[in-house]
A and B are shown apart, each in its own frame.
Chain A
Amino acid sequence: MSEILTKVIVDCSTGETSTIPLNEEEIAQVENDRAAYQERLAQEEADLAAKNEAKASAEAKLTALGLTPEEIAALR
């Protein structure tokens, strides 16, 4: 990780703001958090795609049974 990562700390008792480079432990945490974020994002998009696919499939089956678009919408 070549970028210089920092944290901004505001002391509410004094109003003083400090910008401090992250230490090794904190940088390791950032790397873990980034990996978790990417994993979470991919999972969310996969979940949404699966949900939309199931919805489209259900609507197609209802249409095949003779329901109108208005009747299908009323079920939502």
Chain B
Amino acid sequence: MELIATANGNSGSTNIQFTNIPQTYQFLKVVGQGRTAVGSGGSNPWIGATIYFNGETNTSNVIWRRMISYNTNNWIDDTSTGPDLQANGTNTEAGFHGIATWWCTNYSDASKYKSFGAYASGTNTGGSFLNATNCGQYRSNAPITSIRFDFSYGLDPASVYSLYGIAG
């Protein structure tokens, strides 16, 4: 596994993008932690990044399914299309960042849809952790050359996301 690039948040940066991704690996993996300026939204102000590929401005080619567990709630099958790379909000426990791992198994294949998965965790205002497991698909045959993780709210400077390539 080789580090390709690292992106750091700063106040006001609502999204991070990796562009000109080399097509020489078998798999891609992103590991990161995030804390955003989202300060409202009830008792669970974590936010999951929306993922865009190849400069697209909508997610019509992207689908997600997920399972969630947190607090006293057991497993939930969620059939919404919401992605989950959790980043904590400002009114969660001080200093806590949401953590996430995302990977894609065939990003450079020019003849198939792309499959990916993600694990992520965040905390709510009561200190209960949310854990989410996600499966998704980029329904395009285009190789993935750029990825944008969009949190909608500004990431703090300690937020960091690193992109790795795996030879397979």
> Contact residues of A with B, CB < 8 Å?
3-15, 17, 19, 22, 29-30, 33-34, 37-38, 40-42, 44-45, 48, 51-52
Contact = CB atoms under 8 A, between A and B. Distances in A.
A72 B86 CA distance: 34
Contacts of B17: 7-10
Interface stretch (B5-13, B95-103, B113-121): B5-13
Contacts of A45: 42-44
Interface of B: 4-10, 12-22, 37-38, 40-45, 47, 50, 57, 72-73, 76, 80, 82, 148, 150, 152-154, 163
A34 B65 CA distance: 21
A38 B16 CA distance: 21
B4 A8 contact: no
B14 A7 contact: yes
A12 B4 contact: yes
**Ordered nearest first, which 10 A-B pairs have the shortest CB separation?**
A13-B20, A33-B152, A8-B16, A10-B5, A9-B17, A41-B41, A6-B13, A12-B5, A10-B7, A8-B13
Contacts of B50: 33
